[in-house]
């Protein structure tokens, strides 16, 4: 598979690992946050920790749209799905996310709600066309990457004059969340960020510049293949060693400074910024999410069905907030692996396989976090 296999080459990885091991200052630690779940996934799935020197600590950020989906929004989605005659469409990822009262969309479906899993938001539109007498709501989640397709579909629905289709928007924004983490974690020493891959394909590398400057932290935008992650770690190590805080782009094969301008314009036409939005695990984050503009109000499920913005507190035992800010390791949560498992997640980080706790549980719990986290790589 072109553009995939080349970036999974183990020999090249060992070369990079040796260089990283050579260049790190063994006297210090490099605490790097990968914002995106996609990077978390690559790190866990390929076992990258084994290739990195102990001085490098990777912290999993909140970049998984499923994990950060607040409970109140899923409660609302379930309520929608329970309306007689309504079809709720959503991506497979959201179906198991725990809501209040031990419910989830998949359980709601078992109780009779018409919840349909779609691979693309375009399918939801097709369903609306096929079943004109029924209300069809698309439960939209995702970061900047996933928003443009939703925007396209809303515009198509408007062009078709569909009367039975609407979107429950939960699209959220990456730079706002990155800034929030730095603001709320002033005491925490994050040394650098591995920046989003496909989000940046859409928004470009420029939006991170203000962030890097303001918080004086280097950001390296990296692709989701394991070699991309390794290389970006090396680039971060070099910047940190030199005391730099620049935005670098490792993923130049897909990311330009300006991003996908057409997609941005499309999003801009359909969506507007919300003043605030509650993220599971992080709490309220200013200007971090998108709502549907007045011009497309007819396609906004929130208005059509009068969905209130309800805030449901995260579970008390859950340490997700501290984990997402890099203050704690999943294994330090008392519930980890006992009360909270991928089958019965308590907190956001355990929900999707890309959440910090789920990734550690599913891929990494054979490593004892109490001991040195990674083996010394050979050089």
**Alpha-carbon distances, residue 351 vs 183, 189, 205, 273 (angstroms):** 25, 26, 29, 26
Which member of 154, 181, 340, 359 binds ligand SF4 (CB under 6 A)?
340
Which member of 30, 32, 33, 46 binds other proteins (CB under 8 A)?
46
**What's the closest the beta carbon of residue 333 comes to ligand SF4, in angstroms?**
3
For residues 72 and 62, what is the distance between their CA atoms, to the nearest angstrom? 18
Q: Copy the structure tokens of residue 359.
A: 């990734």
**Using CB distances below 5 to 8 A depending on partner kind, what does residue 323 bind out of other proteins, ligand SF4, none?**
ligand SF4
For residues 125 and 102, what is the distance between their CA atoms, to the nearest angstrom? 30
Q: Any contact of residue 24 with other proteins (CB under 8 A)? A: yes
Please name every residue paired with 140 in a beta bridge, in sequence order, or none if there are none.
169
Q: Any contact of residue 201 with other proteins (CB under 8 A)? A: yes
Pairing, β 165-171 against β 136-142 = parallel
Q: Measuring CA to CA, which residue among 71, 63, 37 is closest to residue 316?
A: 71
Q: Copy the structure tokens of residue 124.
A: 């939801």
Beta carbon nearer to ligand SF4, 332 or 375: 332
Q: Which of residues 330-359 bind other proteins (CB under 8 A)?
A: 342-343, 352-354
Identify the DSSP state of 165.
E
**What's the closest the beta carbon of residue 332 comes to ligand SF4, in angstroms?**
8
**Alpha-carbon distances, residue 250 vs 52, 155, 194, 230, 376 (angstroms):** 18, 34, 10, 10, 25
**What's the closest the beta carbon of residue 63 comes to other proteins, in angstroms?**
5
**What's the closest the beta carbon of residue 79 comes to ligand SF4, in angstroms?**
24
The dihedrals phi and psi of 322, each to the nearest 5 degrees, come to -65, -35
Which member of 140, 221, 266, 357 binds ligand SF4 (CB under 6 A)?
357
Q: Copy the structure tokens of residue 240.
A: 């940190």
Beta carbon nearer to other proteins, 49 or 76: 49
Q: Which of residues 273-292 bind other proteins (CB under 8 A)?
A: none
Q: Any contact of residue 17 with other proteins (CB under 8 A)? A: yes
Buried-state track 123-153, b at ≥16 Cβ within 10 A, e below 16: ebbebbeeeeeebbbbbbbbbbbbbbbbbbb
**Can you state the angle between helices 261-270 and 147-160, rounded to 10 degrees?**
60
Beta carbon nearer to other proteins, 198 or 217: 198
Which member of 54, 103, 122, 315 binds other proteins (CB under 8 A)?
122
**What's the closest the beta carbon of residue 335 comes to ligand SF4, in angstroms?**
4
**Alpha-carbon distances, residue 7 vs 2, 18, 313 (angstroms):** 9, 17, 41
Name the one range near ligand SF4 by CB under 6 A: 107-115, 124-132, 296-304, 330-338: 330-338
CB 202 within 8 A of CB 41: no
Size of the site for ligand SF4 (CB under 6 A): 15
Beta carbon nearer to other proteins, 66 or 212: 66
Residues 6+ apart with CB under 8 A from 191: 29, 30, 31, 32, 217, 218, 236, 240
Which member of 53, 192, 195, 196 binds other proteins (CB under 8 A)?
196
Q: Any contact of residue 335 with ligand SF4 (CB under 6 A)? A: yes
Which member of 102, 119, 187, 371 binds other proteins (CB under 8 A)?
119
Which member of 350, 352, 353, 359 binds ligand SF4 (CB under 6 A)?
350
Q: Any contact of residue 361 with other proteins (CB under 8 A)? A: yes
**Using CB distances below 5 to 8 A depending on partner kind, what does residue 279 bind out of other proteins, ligand SF4, none?**
none
Q: Any contact of residue 347 with ligand SF4 (CB under 6 A)? A: yes
Residues 6+ apart with CB under 8 A from 3: 253
Q: Note the residues at the interface with ligand SF4 (CB under 6 A).
A: 317-320, 323, 330, 333, 335-336, 340, 346-347, 349-350, 357
């Amino acid at each position: 598979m072109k553009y995939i296999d080349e970036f999974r080459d183990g020999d090249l990885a060992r070369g990079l690992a040796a260089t990283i091991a050579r260049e790190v200052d063994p006297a210090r630690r490099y605490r790097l946050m990968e914002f995106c779940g996609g990077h978390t996934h690559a790190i866990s799935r390929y076992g990258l920790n084994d290739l990195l020197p102990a001085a490098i600590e990777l912290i999993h950020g909140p970049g998984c749209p499923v994990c950060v989906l607040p409970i109140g929004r899923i409660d609302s989605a379930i309520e929608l799905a329970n309306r007689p005659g309504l079809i709720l469409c959503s991506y497979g990822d959201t179906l198991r996310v725990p809501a209040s009262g031990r419910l989830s969309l998949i359980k709601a479906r078992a109780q009779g709600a018409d919840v349909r899993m779609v691979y693309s938001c375009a399918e939801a539109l097709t369903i609306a066309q096929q079943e004109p007498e029924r209300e069809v709501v698309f439960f939209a989640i995702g970061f900047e990457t996933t928003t443009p397709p939703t925007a396209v579909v809303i515009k198509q629905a408007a062009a078709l004059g569909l009367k039975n289709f609407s979107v429950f928007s939960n699209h959220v924004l990456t730079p706002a969340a990155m800034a929030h983490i730095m603001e709320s974690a002033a005491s925490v020493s994050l040394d650098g960020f591995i920046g989003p891959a496909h989000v940046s394909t859409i928004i470009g590398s420029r939006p991170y510049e203000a962030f890097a400057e303001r918080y004086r932290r280097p950001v390296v935008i990296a692709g989701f293949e394991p070699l991309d992650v390794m290389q970006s770690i090396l680039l971060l190590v070099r910047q940190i060693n030199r005391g730099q805080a620049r935005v670098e782009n490792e993923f130049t094969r897909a990311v330009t400074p300006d991003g996908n301008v057409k997609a941005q314009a499309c999003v801009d036409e359909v969506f507007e910024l919300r003043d605030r939005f509650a993220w599971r695990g992080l709490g309220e984050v200013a200007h971090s999410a998108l709502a549907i503009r007045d011009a497309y109000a007819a396609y906004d499920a929130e208005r059509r069905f009068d969905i209130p913005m309800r805030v449901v507190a995260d579970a008390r035992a859950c340490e997700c907030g501290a984990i997402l800010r890099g203050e704690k390791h999943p294994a330090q949560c008392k519930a980890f692996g006992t009360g909270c498992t991928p089958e019965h997640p308590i907190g956001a980080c355990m929900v999707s396989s890309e959440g910090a706790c789920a990734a550690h549980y599913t891929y990494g719990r054979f490593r004892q976090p109490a001991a040195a986290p990674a083996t010394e790589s050979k050089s």
